[in-house]
């Protein structure tokens, strides 16, 4: 059986400015999905909260953003290299993303075993 080795760059092919957030699936295995998310001045709609049935780990690769966790007093500011682990059903929202440059996120979605 031939196995294909794939490679790429999470910073390749960025287009600016972005009218809407761009989500690209980079890899998928049983119970795990890895995405590149590119945002530029996007935020969650007013009153909207993510409430996901799966765990998510996100890392900001470039740019910056702020994520508000339900119940916390203020948003957490994230810059390049910063990451968050969001367990399933922890409500959160994106308050803002950088308007001057693309914010590139690496997101790993998975189920705990």
pLDDT at 93: 98
May I ask the CATH class of domain 22-110?
mainly beta
pLDDT at 24: 93
pLDDT at 108: 98
Q: Is the whole model's pTM more than 0.85, yes or no?
A: yes
pLDDT at 15: 65
Measured CA angle at 53 (ends 96, 93), to 5 deg: 10
Residue 67's alpha-carbon distances to 10, 27, 42, 78, 86, in angstroms, are 21, 24, 12, 8, 11
Tokens of 28: 């998928």
- pLDDT by 10s per residue, the chain, length 113: 788 898 988 888 876 667 788 999 999 999 999 999 999 999 999 999 999 999 999 999 999 999 999 999 999 999 999 999 999 999 999 999 999 999 999 999 998 76
Distance, in Å, from the CA atom of 62 to the CA atom of 80, rounded to the nearest integer, reads 5
pLDDT at 14: 78
């Amino acid at each position: 059986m031939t196995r294909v080795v794939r490679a790429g760059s999470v910073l390749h092919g960025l287009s600016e400015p972005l009218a809407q957030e761009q989500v690209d699936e980079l890899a998928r295995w049983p119970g795990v999905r890895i995405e590149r998310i590119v945002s530029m001045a996007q935020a969650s709609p007013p009153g909207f909260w993510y409430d996901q049935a799966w765990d998510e780990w996100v890392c900001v690769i470039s740019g910056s953003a702020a994520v508000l966790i339900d119940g916390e007093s203020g948003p957490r500011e994230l810059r390049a290299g910063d990451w968050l682990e969001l367990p399933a059903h922890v409500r959160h929202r994106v308050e803002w993303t950088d308007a001057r440059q693309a914010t590139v996120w690496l997101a790993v979605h998975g189920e705990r075993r």
